[in-house]
């Protein structure tokens, strides 16, 4: 299973767009330089009162679909 590490800095005001139905996906650049896109709903467990911050490891299946996500630092 492939994995990508992304560093996210999403203030609460921007993540509120997900809850309002305006943002379905997050696009970020991995540490290896690849652009990755994944469902915003995958981050809901990591939302704090200030937003979503930290480094995350995204695990993808053989079709490059998000399988799991884990926070590895920050938050």
Residue partners of 4: CB distance under 8 A and separation at least 6: 30, 31, 32, 34, 36, 57, 58, 60
Q: What does pTM read for this prediction?
A: 0.89
Answer yes or no: is pLDDT of 19 > 90. Answer: no
For residue 51, the domain's CATH number is 2.40.50
Q: Which domain holds residue 27?
A: 2-73
pLDDT, position 28: 97
Number of structural domains (the chain) is 1
pLDDT, position 45: 93
Cα gap 28→54, rounded to integer Å: 13
What is the per-residue pLDDT across 33-71, written as a single tens digit (0 to 9) for each?
999 999 999 999 999 999 999 999 999 999 999 999 999
């Amino acid at each position: 299973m492939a994995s990508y590490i992304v560093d996210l800095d999403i203030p609460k005001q921007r993540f509120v767009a997900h809850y309002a139905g305006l943002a379905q996906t997050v696009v970020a650049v991995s540490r290896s330089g690849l652009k990755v896109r994944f469902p915003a709903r995958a981050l809901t467990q990591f939302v704090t009162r200030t937003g979503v911050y930290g480094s995350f490891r995204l695990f993808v299946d053989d079709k490059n679909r998000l399988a799991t996500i884990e926070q590895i630092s920050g938050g």
